[in-house]
């Protein structure tokens, strides 16, 4: 085993022990370590292996994902770290677990570099000052160069870059400078791996070609036109299948190139591309004509056959059409008629319901004016009882009808079973009548030995469980003791009840006094009426009785549907929330 480079070892220790915001600046020291050796020598490979073994490349890749606008060094540090990451990965020979390096680490590094490129592109487009735009453009070019360097060292990454969504987003931009840089990256991909377009999926290929053709059709900038034309020419030279796709997918491409881009300074590349498109179009023109003629003949024969077939079926079709039209019209008329009947029935039911509610309210108001206050509760109880009986009667009828419809099949089965059982019983009865009566046999009695054994068991049980005996004097004494204890208990319970009633009365009196004191006005506002309230207890009692009576009247006037939840409540009981809503903080029965 060869010794680890002490600089790499010291840097790894510093990164491990440092804070997160200091790691990007520490990783910039890798640039000096990599530049200290010549490119491609064994010492350089050994240093890159040490850097990868101590996870410094992992740190670089993770740092690229962060928002560098809040970190020390800013986006310039991020661009330098992208360059360092690409140099560390190119020329690196991983001996332990190479599959993870090639299939996981390198695609993840490409993805992080493209994400960094998108962020720099967005900030370049939003920048206002020329100095800021130049800095962001320089950093963006550094990142794209790092991407080119990375897939240049690992050719298999070219397809990974082309299929990445971030690469397509970078390519689809209206900014001229960044678009030229991204088209140069695409040019390098095609130059390094000419068959990469055949390795990617069809959707990616169409997206790239669509963007190149769109740039040719939407701009007049000769730099953009030159780059897009060179890319299409390079694609057409390397992939004959792409030429067929260009001629088939983009019908007006040839006319667009000849009319809009002739004489713009790149006529040589433009003429080569037009020649390739014209050659492919001329080769496929004869085959297309033969296919067109064959398709016309097939279509003419098929149309003639279909026309003759329709003419034969025309009378039957007319009859069927008329029948279906009449049926549909009849169905629509029935539907409209049913809809009008339903609306009329609904309106009639609504009017009946309103009339019934109005008569009910009028009757309630008239009866409340006639009936004495002491008879209101009794009348309301009778009305509630009648209403409950009516609701229950209708509900039971509805439930019985519903159960009858649900149990109709089971009822049929039950009747069928009764018929079968009746027939079977008649059959069995006839068979029993035909049988001869068996001779009478006396029941067997107990023998003498069985009788003696049974008597012995009874005697043994009586000996084991003797009955308790008590004299007459002891019974009378026990009865007198029980009578005395019962009298003492009844006397004590009566005294306790009187004491409890007195306590409740005193507690209610104290609560009423406290309420009067809390609601009493100040001394400066006191009148003779207020003094009478405190000097006589009849006034607060009368006030309380009046308020309780008003609350009970209001509760009795509630509609029946508001009191459905109180059907199992006692008749004289009124909800506490109703009394509290009316009386506020009035004390009733010693409770608040």
Q: List, for residues 399-410, the tens digit of each pLDDT value.
A: 988 888 888 888
In a domain, 164, yes or no: yes
CA distances to 7, 176, 231, 257, 425 from 262, rounded to whole Å, are 58, 20, 17, 7, 111
246 vs 488, more confident: 488
Structural domains in the chain (count)? 1
**Range from 165-169, 438-442, 479-483, 549-553 carrying the lowest mean pLDDT:** 438-442
Which residue range forms the structural domain that includes residue 70? 1-197
Beta bridge partners of 588: 591
* Whole-number pLDDT of residue 180: 85
- pLDDT score recorded for residue 336: 94
In a domain, 327, yes or no: no
Is the pTM value of this prediction over 0.75?
Answer: no
Asked whether the predicted pLDDT for residue 441 surpasses 60, the reply is no
Q: What is the pLDDT of residues 297-349, one digit of tens each?
A: 999 999 999 988 888 888 888 888 889 999 999 999 999 999 999 999 999 99
In order of 251, 270, 289, 293, the CA distances from 284 in angstroms are 14, 21, 9, 14
Encode pLDDT of 35-91 as tens digits. Answer: 776 655 777 777 777 777 777 777 777 777 777 777 666 888 888 888 877 788 887
SS (HEC) of 22-64 = HHHHHHCHHHHHHHCCCCCCHHHHHHHHHHHHCCHHHHHHHHH
Could you tell me if residue 29 is inside a domain?
A: yes
Provide Rg for the chain, Cα atoms: 53
User: What is residue 187's DSSP assignment?
Assistant: H
| Averaged confidence pLDDT in the chain | 79
Hey, what are 324's tokens?
């279906």
Task: Please check whether residue 409 lies inside any domain of the structure.
Answer: no
Q: What is the pLDDT of residues 447-493, one digit of tens each?
A: 888 888 888 988 888 888 876 667 788 888 888 999 999 989 988 98
């Amino acid at each position: 085993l060869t010794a680890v480079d002490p600089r790499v070892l010291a840097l790894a220790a510093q990164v491990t022990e440092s804070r997160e915001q200091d790691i990007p600046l520490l990783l910039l020291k890798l640039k000096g370590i990599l530049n200290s050796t010549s490119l491609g020598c064994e010492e350089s490979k050994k240093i890159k292996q040490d850097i990868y073994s101590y996870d410094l490349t992992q740190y670089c890749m993770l740092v690229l994902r962060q928002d560098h606008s809040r970190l020390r060094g800013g986006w310039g540090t991020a661009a330098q770290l992208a360059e360092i990451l690409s140099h560390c990965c190119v020329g690196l020979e991983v001996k332990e677990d190479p599959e993870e390096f090639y299939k996981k680490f390198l695609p993840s590094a490409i993805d992080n570099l493209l994400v960094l490129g998108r962020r720099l592109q967005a900030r370049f487009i939003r920048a206002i000052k020329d100095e800021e735009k130049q800095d962001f453009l320089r950093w963006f070019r550094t990142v794209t160069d790092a991407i080119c360097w990375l897939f240049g060292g690992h050719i298999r990454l070219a397809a990974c870059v082309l299929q990445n969504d971030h690469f397509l987003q970078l390519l689809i931009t209206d900014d001229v400078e960044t678009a030229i840089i991204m088209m140069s990256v695409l040019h390098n991909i095609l130059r390094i791996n000419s068959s990469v377009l055949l390795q990617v999926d069809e959707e990616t290929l169409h997206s790239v070609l669509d963007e190149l053709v769109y740039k040719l059709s939407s701009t007049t900038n000769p730099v953009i036109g030159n780059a897009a034309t060179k890319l299409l020419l390079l694609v057409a030279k390397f992939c004959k299948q792409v030429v067929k796709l260009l001629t088939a997918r983009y019908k007006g491409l040839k006319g667009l190139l000849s009319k809009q881009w002739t004489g713009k300074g790149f006529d040589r590349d433009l003429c080569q591309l037009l020649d390739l498109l014209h050659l492919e179009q001329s080769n496929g023109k004869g085959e297309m004509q033969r296919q067109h003629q064959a398709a016309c003949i097939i279509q003419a024969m098929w149309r003639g056959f279909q026309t003759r077939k329709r003419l034969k079926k025309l009378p039957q079709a007319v009859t069927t059409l008329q029948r279906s039209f009449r049926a549909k019209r009849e169905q629509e008329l029935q539907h409209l008629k049913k809809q009008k009947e339903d609306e009329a029935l609904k309106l009639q039911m609504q009017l009946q319901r309103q009339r019934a509610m109005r008569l009910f309210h009028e009757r309630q108001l008239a009866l409340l004016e006639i009936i004495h206050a002491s008879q209101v509760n009794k009348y309301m109880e009778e009305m509630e009882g009648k209403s409950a009986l009516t609701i229950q009667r209708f509900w039971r009828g509805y439930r019985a009808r519903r159960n009858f419809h649900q149990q109709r099949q089971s009822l049929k089965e039950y009747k069928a079973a009764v018929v079968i059982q009746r027939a079977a019983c008649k059959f069995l009865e006839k068979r029993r009548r035909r049988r001869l009566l068996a001779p009478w046999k006396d029941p067997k009695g107990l023998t003498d030995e069985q009788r003696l054994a049974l008597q012995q068991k009874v005697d043994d049980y009586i000996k084991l469980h003797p009955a308790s005996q008590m004299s007459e004097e002891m019974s009378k004494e026990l009865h007198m003791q029980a009578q005395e204890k019962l009298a003492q208990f009844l006397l004590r319970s009566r005294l306790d009840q009187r004491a409890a009633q007195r306590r409740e009365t005193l507690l209610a009196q104290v609560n009423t006094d406290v309420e009067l004191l809390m609601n009493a006005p100040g001394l400066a506002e006191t009148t003779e009426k207020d003094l009478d309230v405190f000097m006589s207890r009849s006034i607060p009692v009368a006030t309380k009785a009046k308020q309780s009576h008003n609350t009970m009247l209001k509760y009795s006037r509630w509609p029946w549907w508001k009191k459905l939840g109180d059907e199992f409540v006692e008749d004289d009981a009124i909800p506490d929330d109703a009394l509290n809503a009316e009386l506020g903080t009035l004390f009733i029965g010693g409770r608040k």
